[in-house]
Each structure stands twice: as structure tokens, then as C-alpha cells.
Amino acid sequence: MIGYAFMGAAHSHAWRTAPRFFDLPLAPRMTALAGRNPERVAAAASKLGWESSETDWHRLIERDDIDLIDICVPGNLHSEIAIAALEAGKHVLCEKPLANSVAEAELMTAAAEAAKARGAFAMCGFSYRRTPALSLAKRLVESGALGQIRHVRAQYLQDWLTDENAPLTWRLDKSKSGSGSLGDIGAHIIDAAQWISGENITGVSAMLETFVSERPVGGDFVGLGGTGGTDGPRGPVTVDDAAMFTARFSGGAVGVFEATRFALGRKNAMRLELNGSKASLAFDFEDMNSLWFYDAADEPDAGFRKIQATEPSHPYTGNWWPVGHGLGYEHAFTHQAVDLIEAIANREQPTPSFADALGVQRVLAAVEASAADESRWTEA
């Protein structure tokens, strides 16, 4: 694995946990962790459960005791590492969004297609697909329970950037992250909406906003946000703080999307609602073990019913606690590792593939292009 911050910790937990709760056809060995700073990467390897550490990611690709490269670094490094790993015959798991541009994502997808022909597989880490309630939502849509989908309503609301003295981390630097709330969390709801509805977004009309244009630089920040100095130098924020867009889907549905890291009080409110001709479903990650379902065939005024998505018959949950005790944020990463290992063992393409993630990347690019086109704005 390359990188050991927030996502690195989540993925390490997943690799450690997957074989302890799931019967896997292959046993993952956490062989080596890479990072630039020798002391820090060695300390992280020991804390997160890796056998060794390297200070140059190329070494991971050269090592023949490594079969899979897990990429948990900022987006500007994804394409170079993923393509090198795939060309060396390694399987690849790459964090989302796949890349910082459509051009990079296309190159990565081409490398993944070529590698597949040689038996090496690539997957993009849209982890929320493996949240049991969202997997169940997909199952319900596939069963036809919703009928014709008319509305897709998706929000991803966080608040960790609301403080204007929150530090200027890589997530606020376009050259490293590609975009702001759009790619960081908007990408998740784009992927979830397309995956669950089974329809692709064919066009968008968008607006992006940056509320705080300069933030404190320097310092040794831990985690996502925190508070930087108030008196020291400040640097430019080069990404969006909030992204909003309307969308049309290939099957005729229309969508409304919102992603922000400025929604005070909302911590990880990844929300999705689908209204179909026969039924609706609704999900909020802040109540992640529940899926709300309204069926027009129920008795009149029955309202939405809450499905507690923790039954053994629900996706993934049978491998955890005995009587529906409930799961958390980290479990989706474990399920992602499980599905990837099983796909590799079965020599099947894991999903989402790089081609699927390229589809999300094209929507991100369309949102940016639409937002930049001020001629589409109508004064009121």
C-alpha cells in the first residue's frame, strides 16, 4: 500500500479484518507500506500492521513478493503509480476519484484493459457501494421494485472546512486533488447514483463555489481539517468548497446533486433518494444501517418503512454480528477488500472497474465545464 493517512488507515483495517470475518479464497499478506518519510512510514507500518516499509513506491512495484498495489495517496499521483503497477503485472486498488483529469483516467483505463488481458485486475475504491443498506438499495432497484426511476436526489454534506482557519491541506490544492468537494465527496454520490439507478448521467448544469479563498499554510496537521494559525501566512484555495448540479440520466430520470464540506452540523451525511413509478427509497449515511422504502402498493398512508439493513439475508451482514447489531463506516472498506480478493481469485473483473470510474470522471469534468460557462447563468 502507498500512503498511510486517513484512507491508508481505513484500507489497512480492511486488509487486516477481511480474512478474520470472511472465508476468503486467497489470504492477504500486508507485505509493505510505502511513504516518503522513513521514520513516519516505519511507525505507520508497525501501527497499521504492515510487515515492512519502503520510502519509494517504485520499490513496491519491483518486489516480486507483492501481487497487489493499493493506492491511498493524493489524486495527482494515481495515474503514474497505477499504470506502472499494472504494466508490472500487479493488481491495483486505487482510491477515488480515479484521477485528476479525464485524460489521466483514460490512460489508466487503457492500462487496466491491457493488464486484464494478462490476468491483472484494477478496481477503484468507491467504498460506499459496499455499505449494506446501499447494496440493498441496488438489489431493490434491480428487482424492479421501484419501476421507472424519475428522480434521483443526492447530497454529500460534511462540515470539516467551515472554520476559515482550517489549514490549507492537499485536498484544497487543485494540483494535488484535482477538485474540491466535487471530486472528494461529489464523486461518491455520482458513482452511487449511477450504480444504484443503473443509469448513466448524460448531461449536467452546474455551479461551484469557493467560500474561503485563502487559508493558513504550513504546520503539521493531522487528519482532514483542524485549525491552522490565524496570524501566519495564508495561501490560495484553488478548489471548490461546494458543488451543485442538476443532471439527466440515460433512462429518463432527472437528478439534483449537492456536495459540500461547509454544511455545519452535517458530519458524513451522504444521502440518496430515488423516486420511481412504483416506489421510493431513501438513505442517509448518518443512519447508515437503515434504508427507507415507500411502496405505492402498500395500504394507503402507510408511509415510508424503515428496513434495518442488518439481517443476515442482507448484503455482507451475515458475516458480522449475530442478531443485527449494526455496522460502521469502516465495514464498507472491509467488504471492498473481500470483493476484490474474491474477484482476483475467480479471475473476474472487480467492480467498480477503472472504466466505471472513468465514467464518474467524465461527469466531474462536465460539472466543471458547465460551472465555468457563465453564459448559462440567468440573472433573476
Please give the full DSSP string across 254-279, using - where no structure is assigned. Answer: EEEEEEES--TT-SSEEEEEEEESSE
Cell 476484490 belongs to 340
Does residue 307 contact residue 292 with C-beta atoms inside 8 Å?
Answer: yes
Question: Between 127 and 275, whose beta carbon lies closer to ligand SOE?
Answer: 127
CB of 378: closest distance to ligand SOE in angstroms?
31
Q: How far apart are CB 267 and ligand SOE at their closest, in Å?
A: 9
Instruction: Give the list of residues 6+ apart from residue 133 with CB closer than 8 angstroms, or none.
Output: 283, 288, 289, 290, 291, 307, 309, 314
Q: Which residue is nearest to ligand SOE (CB)?
A: 184
Secondary structure class of 21 (helix, strand, coil): helix
- Closest to ligand SOE by CB, 170 or 321: 170
Nearest distance in Å: CB 331, ligand SOE: 12
- Of 267 and 306, nearer to ligand SOE (C-beta) is 267
Residue with Cβ nearer ligand SOE (181 or 275): 181
Half-sphere exposure for 201 (CA within 13 Å, toward CB): 34
- The minimum distance between CB 40 and ligand SOE, in angstroms, equals 20
Cell of 290: 437503515
Count CB neighbours of 159 within 10 A.
17
Considering the complex, state which of residue 54 and residue 191 has its C-beta at the smaller distance from ligand SOE.
191
Binding site for ligand SOE (CB under 6 A): 6, 158, 184-185, 224
Residue 377 C-alpha cell reads as 447563468
Min dist. Cβ of residue 116 to ligand SOE (A): 25
- Residue 114 C-alpha cell reads as 491491457
Nearer to ligand SOE, 131 or 280 (CB): 131
Helix and strand numbers (H, E) in the chain are 11, 15
Q: Pick the closer one to ligand SOE by CB: 76 or 158.
A: 158
Q: In terms of CB distance, is 95 or 199 closer to ligand SOE?
A: 95
Output the smallest distance, CB 4 to ligand SOE, in A: 14
Minimum Å distance from CB 185 to ligand SOE? 5
CA–CA gap between residue 305 and residue 293 (Å, rounded): 5
Distance CA 177, CA 365 (A): 14
Helix (H) or strand (E) holding 365: helix 354-372
Q: Which of 157, 153, 182, 377 is nearest to 282 (CA)?
A: 153
Q: How far apart are CA 155 and CA 242, in angstroms?
A: 11
178 close to 208: Cβ distance less than 8 angstroms: no
- Shortest separation between residue 308's beta carbon and ligand SOE, angstroms: 23
